[in-house]
Homo-oligomer: A and B are copies of this chain.
């Protein structure tokens, strides 16, 4: 089964191919995301819309950062918060709230019939200040539980071994291995 990954990000494509151990076709489609904090809802809707264009088995991925002290806000909306206030601002927004957070990645694979959703979660906390020089998204403010470094302070290879996205792709691989049998 040939799979189409709707993304504009070559790093994510490479990561998908490495973990899934197969060649993936990248498709760069501009699809509006629906307004919700829930990444699973976002990817389900997006996979559906992508399938309507591609008419072949597609998958999409989205990531969210859920602040425990804010009952999960902003989740999938983290990109807008980051874009507005930056990593320093994110730390400040959480001031006065519990600093625990959950990083979540969801992948939805849709073949026109069934939505298969794979979600990976990493527990952690929002640091008081951004740490680490990686410029990738909110990595400098998220410190996974059990580590004394933020995602941005870890070498990419290390982060990619324990990340929420890695966990989501691992679940997808399990699923694909099963249906191959």
Contacts and interface: CB of A to CB of B under 8 A. Distances in A.
A15 interface: no
Contacts of A162: none
A70 interface: yes
Interface in A47-81: 70-74, 76-77, 80-81
A71 B84 contact: yes
A92 B70 CA distance: 11
Contacts of A85: 70-71, 73, 97
A97 B156 CA distance: 33
A32 interface: yes
B37 A35 contact: no
A57 to B, nearest CB: 23
Interface string A24-45: 0000000011111100001001
Q: Which of A36, A85, A95 lies at the interface centre, i.e. has the most chain B CB atoms within 10 A of its CB? A: A85
A77 B35 contact: yes
A20 to B, nearest CB: 27
Nearest to A89: B70
A93 interface: yes
Q: Which of A34, A72, A77 lies at the interface centre, i.e. has the most chain B CB atoms within 10 A of its CB? A: A77
A96 interface: yes
Contacts of A35: 32-36, 42, 76-77, 80
Interface of A: 32-37, 42, 45, 70-74, 76-77, 80-81, 84-85, 89, 92-93, 95-97
